[in-house]
Every structure is written in structure tokens, then in C-alpha cells.
Structure 1
Amino acid sequence: MDDHELRSLMAIEAAGMAIWDSSVVNGQIEECTIQWSARGAAMVGLPAQETLQPFTQFLALVHEDDRDELLDTMQMAVDARAEYHLGYRVRLADGTVRWLHADAKVLCGDGRHPDRTLGLIRDVTGMVEHERLVNERERMAEVTLDCIGDGVITTDCHGAIRFMNRAAEQLTGWSRQRAAGRDVNEVMPLVDEVDDTPLEHVAYKCLLRRETVGISSHAAMLTRDGRRIAVEDTAAPIRVNSGGIVGAVVVFRDVTHQRALSSQLSWHASHDVLTGLFNRREFELHISHALHVSKQDNHTHALLYIDLDRFKLVNDTAGHAAGDALLQILAKQLQERMRESDVLARLGGDELGVLLGYCRMDQARRIAEEIRQLVKDFRFVWDVHSFDIGASIGMAEISADSTSVSDLMIAADEACYLAKDQGRNRVHVYSPNDAAITRRHSEMMWVATLNDAMQQDLFTLYSMPIAPLRGNHMKHEEVLLRLTDEGGDVIRPDRFIPAAERYHMMPMLDRWVIRAVCRHIAYSVGSQSQPVREEQHGRNTETEVPISGISSVLAQEVGPTLYSVNLSGASMSDDALYQFIVSEFAVNRVDPAQICFEITETAAIRNLLKAQDLISQLKLIGCRLSLDDFGSGLSSFGYLKTLPVDFLKVDGSFVRDIASNPVHRAMVESIQKVAQVIGIQTIAEFVEDASTLEVISEIGIDFAQGYAVGRERALDSADT
């Protein structure tokens, strides 16, 4: 063997290959003899030495599924005096199967008749196994991606599509076969959902920035059949081990429903549902902006506070449905008369607010008179009834000298009060002197009345049942505060609570209620019974109570009563309140588990840190906590993780018409689902009729409160 042959042999062996040499007899491959090198012999399971082997013996070593193909391929190459490339399996003596690959050329000794094949053979078992594993993993990945709900698209480094899962096919309307190789922007075009402006594709951004990026919160995708769906999510680069980027993966989902619901929730956060006007919260934001502009640029604006005269007569005579219809019609008429810069809002039951932007007081007075005249001329007909109403309007100037939004609202409110006090159906412009007299006359009278009531023990506790709907037989009552005047008439808290809040008397009233409830428990029958320790079972193990069975459930309530006691926002800021509660529990031997403290969502958020501290302290000793008016702020869900309450009381404005209002039903369903996930029980208030009760029961609400399940009564009679 000369040097050239030696070098060639060494190169072949270094590459893991062996010589594949066989003779051909009479042009038939089956009659040939194979000459194995030592390495080649070892590949087919023979001793590692140079060996001659008849082809038939070699064929017996070939895997039975590959024999015919190997024989046909080699014979055709001999017949054609050509070369062949072939992969096949051999089965070794110990049963092991190995993959071999042969590359050979047919040689003709006399230039015409084939007499030999010569080539190379190599063991490719590792390569085949690796390819099999890769294919298997790719298939598993494809199956996995086809099972998820999000659309997944992968591209190469130029944005051409390489793969789409089944969800991406359904969302885009493109099959993966038809989409393969196309530009991602053709298959998944993105536009701004507001004005349909084309957006730079998230995949391009990802490839350009070489980092994960998110789709615009206003992105929409145009499908192949022309539909437009709202989408959101991310694109991330696909990197190889060396760090280079070979493409991008886009993960997206259809959020059309969620975005529509979010838009509805946003609208409800700033608008009155009945009239479609701005609500008080949004109106006060506009006033705040106007005040800011006045202080910056010395502009003047006007604030109108409108109270509809004789509106209560409509409700009392024709019912609340008539009152609602009146408000809707009147609101539409007033809105049509507003200037583009004006803001009209509903502030309460029959109270409206108007912000006249960039308006001098003389001009504002004329506009106010026009509004008053419009309301006066408005004639409302309902069934057989016909009503004339009026408007008492208070007006206050917003200028650089104005102090705050609350002071402006108070000023306009007090001017409105004077308009009503002076005969109704008139406009009164705020004057500091008028306001001082009115405020002292009205609110100081209540302050004196409340102090006298405290000294003379004229307060009374009422209660209203909170009925279980989910098979929980716990007896639950909300405690209500009432004031009895000198004539024996019961005064509801909405008459005196505003004065108590303004003059910081709420902590005093809250303490009176807490002490009175503890004393009631101490002297009630069964106060020495076992503490209330009901486990909050998962909803899967509870039995739903049919609507017709609510009364029987109330009759079956067992164990000590759980009393819900309202706490004001001012009391949550009272550092001594917790110690007072603990002291009253100890003196009256009250089990803390019989008390559920109820705080409004608004008060909790306004005093978040104080609320967290107080809730934690009360929970630690065994009290329950309830979050009232839940959903009214519409920032509610974000705070639940920081407020470990036991109950959510859904805001009554969503419950009252839930049987006929699909938006309100969707909102209550959302609240219920979140509460269920977190493990908080839900209470629906303002459940006034059987249809409302049926709907909230279907949704999965745990408790109901309202005339459909029980009316308020004196607390002493609540236990009989």
C-alpha cells in the first residue's frame, strides 16, 4: 500500500467509514462476494478483521423490512452501470439493530460489463436516532401547541411563517399549509381598533429589537374572511445555543369579549346607568379640572346644582318605573340643550349637576333660567297620570379664588337648598352669607339632635335578614341604626348621617352600635351557646337551595346569629377603635365569631392602610369582615388581595335590575367568579322580587338581602 492509499484509508477510518467493496458475477448482485475491511466487518457484526462474505450471508444480516429495497436498489444500479446511495438496517447477533448508509459506484472491468461495486459504508445509528428524537419532540410540541387556546405562530428571521397551531388557524382563517412561507403581516395583519390604522407587526418589532415585545392594547387583527377581532399578547425571539436569532414566536388570543366588557365597565365607572349621564364621581373630576384651569389661567366657570321639584310625587303616585322614565326623558332633553363645553351629570336620585365651562356668571344665570324653564314646561304623562315638575337650581362660581371641589359642591348644594326654601322652581346664586346661615341652621340642628339622642338613649337597632342561598343554614342579620324623635317617629339614617359625617360624629355613633349589639347578644336567648364556627365549604359540596325553598331555609337556620355591623370610614381611622371592640367583647362575653364588621368599598380604598391594619386585627381575634357596595368603584378586584374579607356585598345598583339588564348580570357574574376563585362568599343586596332572587341564585351568589327574603324589623323582635 503506497502512501496515497494509506492516507486515503486513514482519512476514511477517521471519518468513521469503511470500504464497501463487492464483486459482481454475471451482472447479478445476489451472486457477488463482499470484501469487508476490519471496520466494515465490525459494522455488520462480524469479527473486526478483513473478511470475504457471500452476498446471501450478508443479506441475511439485513433487517427483514429492508432486504428487498436494498437488493432492488443495488441491482438497478448494476443494470444501469450507475451509483447508488442507500440506508438500511442490520440486526446483530445479540439482537441489536444498527443503521448503515452506503454510497457506492458500479465499475465495469472491460468498459461494458459490470464486475464490481466500490464505495463507502458508515454507521449512522446515532444520527438516525437523534433525528427520530428530534422529529418526536417536534411532533409532541405540535400536538401540545394544537391543544392550547392561544394562537401560536413561528417565523424565520425575516418574518416568514414556519408554523401555526390549530388555534392560530382558527383565529386567522389561514391553514398552516397555505400560510407556510408567507409574510406574517399577510396572514396576521394588525390594525388599531380605534381608527384601523395599520400597526407595525409585533413579530417585526421583536426581530428588530431582539427582545420580547407586547402588542398594543388597542390592537385588532383582520382575519382572512374580513372579520376584525381584538387581540393581545406577545412576541419573543427564537434563539439558538450560540445566541443568534433564527426567528420569532408570536402568541396571541382573541380578547374581543373581554375588551368589550372592559369598555362597558369603564363606561359604568363614569356614567349613571339609568340616564347615561356622567355620575357624581366623574362630574367631580370635571369640576376639579375646571378649578385647576381657573387657578392657572384665571378662567371663570359656573356650577349648577339642580333638584327636581315634586319628583317624589311621581314615584309615590305612579311608581319607581315612572320616575325612572321621567329621568331618562328629561336627561335626554337637557343633554340636547347643552353646549359642547358643558357637562351634565346625575348626582343622586332626583339631583342633577351642570358644569358650564368658560362661562361668566351673567351668562350662566341666563343658561340656568333656560334650564329651569325647560323643566317647568316639561309635562310628563304616565298611564292616566300627568305631572308638572319644576327645578330648584343652585349656582356657584368656579374661579381662581375657589378652594376645593367639595366646597364648590357644598356651595351649589346650599344655594339649591335656598332656592327650594324660598318657594322652589327658581335659580339662586351662592353667597357666602346665605351658605353660612343655611349650614348652621340645617346641620347644627342635627348635631344638637344627635347629641341629645345619645344622652337620652333615643337610638334604636333594627335588623334585616341576610338569607343563605347555597345550603348554608347560618342565621345572618345586618344591624341598622335608627333614631326615634320626640313624637315617636322612626328617622332613617340618610337624614342624619351626612351631618354626622361632616361634623365627625360617626365614630361616636359606630361605638354606640357596637356596644348595643354586644349587649343584645349578651342578653339574648342562647348567647351562651357554642360560638359560630361554620366552615366555608367549597361550592362543589354545597347544595343549591331552590327559590321556592328560601322560607324553609330561613326557618331551619340554626346556631348563634351572625350580626353584620357597619363601620364608617372615620371609624377605620380611629386608632382606639380596636381596643374598644375587644373591651366590649370581653365585658359582654361575646364570641368575636358572632360579629361581622361591614365596611364600604369606597371607605376601604380611601383608608386602605388603616383598613388593612384593622381588618387584620379583627380577623386575628375571629371576627368576620364584609366589603359593602362592592363594584361601585370598579377598581375593586385589584384591592381584594390586600383586603382579606369573608363576604362581598355586591352593590345594589347592579342587583336591582339584574333580571332585565344583561350588562349588570355580566358584571355580577364576574364578581361572583372572582369571589369564588379567591374563596370569598357573596351577598346580593336590593333583592326585591322573585325574578331577581332567581337570577342571583343561578349565578351562584351565596346570600340574598332585600324584601324578597325579609324586611327590616326591630332587633329585639328579630330573634322571636
Structure 2
Amino acid sequence: MSDLQKRLQMALDAAHMAIWDSRLVNGQVIDGTVSWSARGAALLGLEERALTQPFRSFLDCVHADDRDKVINVLQDGVRRRDGYALQYRVVWPDDSEHWLAAKAQVFMDGGGQPERTLGIIWDVTEHMAREIMIAERKELAEVTLSSIGDGVMTTDPQGKTRYLNRVAEQLTGWSNDMAQGQDIQDTLSLLDEHTGQAPEHVAIKCLRLRQAIGMSTHTLLLTREGRRIAIEESAAPIWSRDGDILGAVVVFRDVSHERKLSQELSWQATHDMLTGLLNRREFEHLVAGALHTAKQDGHVHALLYLDLDQFKVINDTCGHGAGDVLLQLLAKMLQGRMRDSDILARLGGDELGVLLPHCPLDHARQIGEQLRQAVREFRFAWDERSFELGVSIGIVEISQDSKSMSELLSAADQACYLAKEQGRNRLHVYQEADVMLAQRHGEMLWISRLNEAFTHDYFRLYAMPIVHLRDRPEYHDEVLIRIRNGKGDLILPGTFIPAAERYDMMLSIDRWVIRAVCQHIQSVRDSLPPLEAMAESRRRAPALYSVNLSGMSLADTGLHDYITGQFVQYAVAPEQICFEITETAVIANLPQAQVFMHKLKALGCRFSLDDFGSGFSSFGYLRALPVDYLKIDGVFVRDIASNAVNRAMVKAINEVGHVMGLKTVAEYVENDATLAIIRELGIDYAQGYAVGGLRPLTAGVD
């Protein structure tokens, strides 16, 4: 052996490296042979002596998962004729796994074709073990640290506790040292909020299914001290590089405040906020349930519809504050006169509903009379004045013969109407013959009054300003309709709109308003001198008028053509008209509403969604509607200064609206305190007496 060879061998020995020599057959690695130095054979776990073997025999020593990689890397190096480098595992005869690293060059024969590869090989088992361990620790640390703001716990593959971060220690009452090796079910004890039972633990489920488990929304944490904390928790598996599960990481956080707020919002969804009684939506749900038991099981129930007789007088003479107090006092008084199983609800305004479960009609009549007498004996004092009240009550039986929930409510309403017609402050039990009688009375009363308003032009338009809160000069009014009858009385829409809806006259009223607004815009333009009229037409932000549309009009296939016809006739720019529609009307006519809105939107009209928040599926529909403005339901705005839940609701609606690119409007802004809060919340517009009162819409005056 020459000095050069000796020096090379010494260097290889010092570096714990060996030579390997791969001979090719027709340029193919797989068909060739491999020659090893004695040290190289030892790296394969074989006897330490020089060895030449078929390449396929060498592959038998390679880990089954790495064989394709070895062949592909070597063959690719031969193809490129510039060598290769790779790391792979070999399995010794004793089944132990070892990592080898190899690096080689390609040598050519006299014809310039690849003949052999010659290179070095060495053991990197310890190095790879350290890399794997570092990678596992890094992954575990990254998952833990990324969740450090919440409680974080990790387990081993058997669900034994490995680690708690500081927040987890505080929430569970377990220290990191105490929890080591304990079952995760003990250190993170979880209960179902509704049943009080322990569900399958999120960490155990994660380990069993070998997948992440999403956030739960009804879990309680039972601390080491026995306290119960509302939490949301999730879990994810921790994987090794080989695809083995090293354990699970559980992330959880205290949501006591959020869950309490959610429960309050859920309560608000089913209750009237003024009186604390059930609201109409929940009452209708309960009536539907009573109807179901009547049809399925033959039970008999009763439904009462109450309308206060003197409420409007008190409201008009003493103000809405007095009316609100009266309703609260009456609600409390009436509940005290009813059975525990009876259900009292506020259906709207001064209308109440009572559901009497398992109550025959005769008994229902007795209860109704007791309620009537209680209201009659009630005295309401306000500002040194005392008021007597009366109540008209309609009663309808819920039995197997009843048809539908809506027909039951309609029947109770008709019976109440007839009680009023017969002199007020009395009961009327619904009978089939009442339908025609009520319809005849209603048609005679309302159809004639509304037709008279059309014939004699009694309708009047009023404007309520919508004011931008960022000092941007805009002219934006909501247009409201009233009736000024022949006696000079001003009739509010709450009086005649329900009747118009019942007797299909809303289409005519909506069209009258659209035409009248277009005429008004033309009158304003015609009243200006020519130069001012030209300047007005070129103003970047022309006056904007919000026109309310009913649900019936949304389903009117001819309304689009009527609107465009009015625009043409009165030379109105579509950009000057914003149509206000309620969330309820849109949902009831969603397909037609989408088509109608998209057509007018294409012309330049704008749309405002009114009373937003009164329904709890609201946000889902927003994506499907081309809305520009979101008017937050005044029931949330009115007492925002004193109600934290309403403030949170308004804040949430405003933020979601802004994320979706919509402008927000707060309704019922009645005082400076409310105005200051909605400014602080970043709402774009305000409407209410704190920023501007109602005014007649006068021809020629903008």
C-alpha cells in the first residue's frame, strides 16, 4: 500500500468513513454490484471484511421505506453523470435501524459511458436521532407557545398529562409538577353544561380518532377546588416525523362572560325587553306546540288575545314613558292572577296574548273574566292623575279541529276585534260565524277610509333626517307617510298600515309614495333658478330619499317597471332613491327580493335593511343581498346607555356591517347620551330626535 493510500485510509478511519464502489451494467444501478471496504461492510451490520455483492442484495439491507429513494437518487446521479448524496436507513441482522450518509462521483469508461460510482459512506444514526428529537421538541414548543394566551395542556399517547402552561394551572388548580403522569380526565375534568355528565374527553377522543377535535361550546371545567367554569376546548394530535402520535395538545379558555352574554341574548330573542314577557315569536312557537299536542293527543287548550282599551289615551296625554311603565305594571299584575302553567306574552304595542294549557273553554272564559276584572280594577297614577283601564279579550279554543297556528291567532284577533265592536271591556269567544262578521266590519271600516284617502288625496309625506356622524355634509331623509283626514286629524301609519296589509292595499300605498317622492324631487329641481338647478344636478352627493317598501311589494313583479317609469317621467336620478326593506320582509320573499334588488341596484338605486337585529339569522342573509345601509333595530339603541347587552349587540352589528362594507344607521337616537355612545362605537349615521325631528315634506323645499 502506497503512502498516499495509507494516508487516505487513516483519514477515513479517523472520520469513521468507508469506501463503497458501485459497478453499473448498461448504465443501470439495480443490475450492478457493490464493493465494500471492511469498514463499509460493518456499517451494514455484516462481518467486517471486504465484500462484493449484487446491488439487489445490498437493497435487502436497506429499510423497506427507503429502497425506492436509494435507487432513484443513485440512478438520477448516473443519468446526470455528476454524482449524488443521500441519507438512508439500513436494518442490521439484529433488526436495529441505523442511518447512513453517502456521497459519490460517477466515473466513465473509455467510450464516455457511466461505468461505476465511487464514494464514501458513514454512520449518522446519532445525528439523526438528535435531529428527530429536536424536531419533536420544536413542534411541541411551537404548538404550546402559539396558544400561550389560553390554557394549554399536553399528554403522552396514553392520555397521561405531560405539561400545563401558566393559564392552565390557574384555571384547573393543578400545578405542572403535580399533574405530571396523571390522567388528563383528572387534571382537566370536563362536564357537559346541559347534562352535568362527563362526556368523552376531548384529548382521549383526539388520540382515539387520530385527528383534531374542534371547539366545543357547552363544556364546564370542574376545577381541583370544585368550582365550575364555562370553557371552550379543542384538541389536536402531536405527530412525529414518522407519522406516529406523540400525544395530544388541548387548548381551552374561560368563556364565562361570553356564555353569560350569549344566554342573555338568547333570552332577548324570546322575550319582550320592556315587560320581560315572552315576545310574539316565542309565543307563536308555543301556540304551535299546543296545537300539535291537541291534534296528536286530543288535548284541549285555550288562546286569549287582549287589547287594552285606554292605552292610547295614556300614551298621548302622558307620553311614551308613562305607557311603558303602565305595560310593566300590568304585566306583573296579570302574571300574579294566572296559574303557573299559563303563559303570558306581549304581542306588540298594547296587545297581549295568553296561552292556557289543558284548559277547557268554560274554564278559559272564567280566567278571561278574572283578567278583565283585574284590569278594570287597576288604577294607574301618573303626574297626580289617575286613569281607569279596560281590556277587550278574544278567546279561541285549541282542539283537534283547529287548523293552523296562524289561523288560531287570526281567530283570537277577530274575536278581540268583535269584543271592541260590541262596546269594549268585554270578552268574546270565537265562533265560525265571526269570520264573515269581522271581515265585513273590517272592509266597511278600513277599505272605505283608505279609498277615501286615495280619492281625496289625504296622504301626506313627512321626512325624518338621517345624519352622518363624521361631519360629512349629506342630505338624507327617510320618507314617512301619514293620513290627514277630512276632519284635520293626523293618522299615524301604525293605525292604518296593519289594515292595509290585511286587505291587500299596501301595493297601492307603496306606489303612491314612490310617485309622490319622484314628484317632490322634480318640484325641488323646478323651484331653483336655472344656474342653481344645473349646480344641483352636478352635485356629487344629491339629496337622498329613503322610501319604505312592504313585503307585498317585494313580491310584486310589476313594481320594477313602475319605478323605472316614474324615474323617466319625473327625470329622477336613481342614485337619489334608497329603498328601505325590513329583514322580515326580505326573508319571507328572499328569491323575489334578490332579483328585484339586483335590478334596481344596477340602475343606481341604493338599499337599506331596516330593523336589523330583530331576527337572529340576520348575518347569513346579508351576503346574498346587495345592501348599502344597515339600520340597527331601535330596540337595541333606545336604552344603550344603560343596557350593556344592547351595547354589545349594537357594537357587534356595527363591526360586522363595516367588515362587509356597509354603512350603519342607529335608529331611535332620542337623547345626547345615546348619541355620544353611538359616536364612540363608530356608527356612521344616526336617526332620531337627538339629531333632527319629523318635518312635512313640502313641495319645492328640499
What's the TM-score bracket when you normalise by the shorter of the two chains?
0.7 to 0.9
CA contact (8 A) 2:132 2:241 kept: no
- Does the 8 Å CA contact 2:524/2:700 hold for their aligned counterparts? no
Question: 1:502: how far off?
Answer: 1.6
Kept after mapping to 1: 8 A contact 2:144/2:152: no
Which range is displaced more, 255-264 or 666-675? 255-264
Stretch moving more, 577-586 or 173-182:
173-182
Match in the other structure for 2:310: 310
Name 1:480's counterpart in structure 2: 480
The answer to whether 1:636 aligns with 2:618 is yes
Say yes or no: does 1:659 pair with 2:660.
no
Task: Please list the CA deviations of residues 34-84 of structure 1 after superposition, one character each: whole Å capped at 9, or x if unmatched.
Answer: xx944233579xxxx9xxxxxxxxxxxxxxxxxxxxxxxxxxxxxxxxxxx
Rounded Cα–Cα distance in structure 1 between residues aligned with 2:474 and 2:147: 47
Going from structure 1 to structure 2, the CA distance change for 1:612 and 1:229 (only over 3 Å counts) comes to farther
- In structure 2, runs of 5+ residues without a counterpart are 1-8, 18-36, 38-121, 526-531
Letter in 2 for 1:700: G
* CA deviation vs aligned residue, 1:288-336 (integer Å, no higher than 9, x gap): 2222222333332211111223233433444433332232222123223
Deviations 1:544-585 (A, max 9, x none): xxxxxxxxxxxxxxx411110111101111122222222322
Any residues of structure 2 matched to 1:432-451 within 5 Å, and which?
A: 432-451=432-451
Query: Do 2:547 and 2:579's aligned partners in 1 also have CA atoms closer than 8 Å?
Result: yes
1:640 Cα deviation from its structure 2 partner:
1.6
Distance 1:383-1:223 versus aligned 2 partners, 3 A rule = farther
Farther-moved stretch of structure 1 (475-484 vs 636-645)? 636-645
Label 1:695 to 1:409 Cα distance change in 2 as closer, same or farther (>3 A).
same
Asked whether the equivalents of residues 216 and 234 of structure 2 are also in contact (C-alpha less than 8 Å), the reply is no
2:331 maps to which residue? 331
Secondary structure of the equivalent of 2:543? strand
State the Cα deviation string for residues 161-198 of structure 1 (Å, max 9, x = none): 23445554454354545434332222221112245333
Select the residue among 594, 611, 626 that pairs with 2:576. Answer: 594
The percentage of counterpart residues that share the same residue type is 56
Aligned residue number for residue 160 of structure 2: 160
Q: Distance in 2 between matches of 1:401 and 1:125?
A: 84
Offset, 1:628: 0.4
Q: 1: CA distance between counterparts of 2:128 and 2:244? A: 24
Q: Which amino acid aligns with 1:605?
A: I
Q: Which amino acid aligns with 2:585?
A: A
Residues 73-108 of structure 1: CA deviation (Å, up to 9, x unaligned): xxxxxxxxxxxxxxxxxxxxxxxxxxxxxxxxxxxx
Query: What is the SS of the residue equivalent to 2:510?
Result: helix
Separation in 2 of the partners of 1:317 and 1:683? 30
- Aligned CA distance change for structure 1 residues 384 and 183 (closer, same or farther; 3 Å): same
Shift of 1:533: 9.0
2: CA distance between counterparts of 1:254 and 1:409?
A: 44
**Counterpart AA for 2:491:** I
- 2:396 is paired with a residue of what secondary structure? strand
CA shift for structure 1 position 123: 7.3
Q: 1:609 aligns with which of 585, 591, 599?
A: 591
1:197 corresponds to:
197
Instruction: Indicate the residue corresponding to 1:141 in structure 2.
Output: 142
| Structure 2 residue matching 1:213: 3-state secondary structure | coil
Q: 1:433 to 1:138 in 2, by over 3 A?
A: closer
Change in Cα spacing, 1:589 to 1:318, as seen in structure 2 (3 Å) is closer
Deviations 1:241-299 (A, max 9, x none): 55543322323333322222221121111111111111111111222222222233333
Bigger mean CA deviation after superposition, 362-371 or 260-269: 260-269
Q: 1:90-139 deviations in whole A, cap 9, x for unaligned?
A: xxxxxxxxxxxxxxxxxxxxxxxxxxxxxxx9878944873696378348
Once the two structures are superposed, the pairs formed by residues 450-489 of structure 1 within 5 Å of their partners are 450-489=450-489
Among 656, 660, 681, the alignment partner of 1:674 is 656
Structure-2 residue corresponding to 1:270: 270
CA RMSD of aligned residues (A): 3.0
Q: What is the letter of the counterpart of residue 421 of structure 2?
A: D
Out of 13, 29, 40, the residue aligned to residue 13 of structure 2 is 40
Change (3 A) 1:301 1:495: same
Q: What is the match of residue 498 of structure 2?
A: 498
Task: Give 1:560's aligned amino acid.
Answer: P
1:520 equivalent to 2:502? Answer no
Structure 2: distance between partners of 1:175 and 1:586: 77
Distance in 2 between residues matched to 1:715 and 1:284, nearest whole Å: 39
**1:130 aligned onto 2:109:** no
- Counterpart of 1:230? 230
Query: Over residues 439-469 of structure 1, what are the superposed CA-to-partner deviations in whole Å (9 max), with x where a residue is unaligned?
Result: 3223343223323433443322211101111
Alignment of 1:534-545 (within 5 A): none
Counterpart selection for 1:571 from 544, 553, 564: 553
Shift of 1:494: 1.9
Aligned partner of 1:7 in structure 2 is none
Question: What is the deviation of 1:690?
Answer: 1.6
1:357 aligns with 2:357: yes
List per-residue Cα deviations over 1:122-161 (Å, max 9, x = no partner): 87894487369637834861674255x4443321121112
In structure 2, relative to structure 1, the CA distance for the partners of 1:165 and 1:360 (3 Å cut) is same
Taking the aligned partners of 1:481 and 1:363, their CA distance within structure 2 comes to 44
2: distance between equivalents of 1:187 and 1:387?
Answer: 64
Q: TM (normalized to structure 1)? A: 0.75
The answer to whether the aligner puts 1:184 opposite 2:157 as a matched pair is no
Contact 1:307 1:351 in 2 (8 A): yes
* Partner SS, residue 264 of structure 1: helix
Find the aligned partners of 1:291 and 1:198 in 2 and give their Cα distance: 37
* 1:539-554 paired onto structure 2 within 5 Å: none
CA distance 1:718–1:37, shift in 2 (3 Å): farther
Structure 1 position 516, deviation (Å): 1.8
Change (3 A) 1:500 1:423: closer
Structure 1 CA distance, aligned partners of 2:141 and 2:533? 64
Evaluate the alpha carbon distance shift between residue 288 and residue 628 of structure 1 in structure 2; reply closer, same or farther with a 3 A threshold: same
Q: After TM superposition, give the deviation of residue 528 of structure 1 in Å.
A: 5.2
Match of 2:256 in 1: 256
Partner amino acid for 1:579? D
* Cα pair 1:318 1:385 within 8 Å, conserved: no
The SS at the match of 1:560 is: coil
Are 2:586 and 1:627 aligned? no
User: In the aligned structure 1, how far is the partner of 2:677 from the partner of 2:375?
Assistant: 38
Number of positions where the alignment pairs a residue of Structure 1 with one of Structure 2: 587
Aligned amino acid, residue 559 of structure 2: L
Aligned pairs for 1:408-447 within 5 A: 408-447=408-447
- Residues 256-265 or 356-365, more deviating: 256-265
**Shift in alpha-carbon separation, 1:128–1:248, aligned structure 2, 3 A:** closer
Residue type of the partner of 2:218?
H
Aligned to 2:563: 581
Q: Which residue of 2 aligns with 1:62?
A: none
Deviates most, 226-235 or 616-625: 226-235
Secondary structure at the aligned position of 1:711 is classed as coil
- Report SS of the residue matched to 1:237: strand
- CA shift digits 1:638-680 (9 cap, x unpaired): 2222223111111111222222222222211221121122221
From the superposition, tell whether residues 449 and 317 of structure 1 become closer, same or farther in structure 2 (CA, over 3 Å): closer
Give CA deviations for 1:617-638 in whole Å, capped at 9, x if unaligned. 2222221110001111122122
Instruction: Determine the structure 2 residue equivalent to 1:703.
Output: 685
Is the CA contact (8 Å cut-off) linking 1:469 and 1:704 kept in structure 2? yes
TM-score with structure 2 setting the length: 0.77
Q: What residue number does 2:94 align with?
A: none
Q: Which runs of 5+ in 1 are unaligned?
A: 1-35, 50-120, 535-558
Q: Secondary structure at the match of 1:523?
A: helix
Residue 181 of structure 1 aligns with an amino acid whose one-letter code is G
